[in-house]
Chain A
Amino acid sequence: MSAAAKTRPTDLAATFEDDRYSWTRRRSVRRAGVVGEAVLVGALALAALAAGHGLLGSGVFAVVWVVGLLLFIPLHSVVNLGVRGLHDRRETTLDEVQRTQRDRSTAATHWPRLLLSLLAVLVAVQTATSTDGAGGASGGTAAFSVGFVLWFASWLTSTWHLAWTLPEED
């Protein structure tokens, strides 16, 4: 008997296997979720860049980010339920096919994740060492926000790949 069968599913794994959320596992829903998250992350980055160039007031920028991050919570829940939370569950609750699917997505997105992470670090270093005061405090906040979005996107990439490529269930 495999480890998956020997181990009692955790509450998290049980939630991801709950049939009430089977609608999230349809390919069309998964892909729509990925597009929605990508648009949202892009919008957050654009808002940060606009704020950095003085095109967006700090109050509006804050509102856009709070609303965007609040919207992200249900959106990512749908995407994560759609992929049965393969990146978040304990190894012992996954069978060999699920591990293969997860590992394939992790491997396929290695370079994009690395690139996004490096860009995030570069932006962070740039922000930390910037002394010319371009944009003042709001410029620093905007640069920090862009770095955060890049890091955030690097964290999401493998889940997006998984949600996009998983075969249709039956």
Chain B
Amino acid sequence: MPKTDDDAVHHRIAVLRAERGASRRDLAEAVGVHPQTIGYLERGEYSPSLVLALKIARYFDLPVEAVFSLDPLPTLSSEVYGRTAR
């Protein structure tokens, strides 16, 4: 679990997984971890190692900085349509 907010790793795993129609188990098997681990990552209860982050990025065929960030990632609506959340 991240010790402070500064240690938190923000990510888009759940969004990307929903977009690809992949279950937690699919992703977990592809990157070689327990399905529960994907749940811990998605809930922000664990920050992945560099190796795991790279594997997850490779699974989604995206650069690692598109999936993980030290700063909060912009939402899809603001990224694509330039709209901010109300």
* Chain A residue with Cβ nearest B41: A97
Chain A interface size, as a band, is 10 to 19
Q: In the complex the two chains form, is B32's CB within 8 Å of A97's CB? A: no
Q: Which of A1-49 touch B at CB < 8 Å? A: 1-6
- Decide yes or no whether B56 CB sits under 8 A from chain A: no
Interface of A (DSSP majority class): helix
Q: In the complex the two chains form, is A98's CB within 8 Å of B32's CB? A: no
Q: In the complex the two chains form, is B34's CB within 8 Å of A100's CB? A: no
Q: In the complex the two chains form, is B36's CB within 8 Å of A96's CB? A: no
In the bound complex, CA of A100 to CA of B40 (Å): 12
Residues of A within 8 A of B33 (CB): 2, 4-5, 95-97
Residues of B within 8 A of A4 (CB): 32-34
Binding site for B on A (CB under 8 A): 1-6, 95-98, 100, 167, 169-170
Binding site for A on B (CB under 8 A): 29, 31-34, 36-37, 39-40, 43, 45-46, 48-49, 51-52, 55
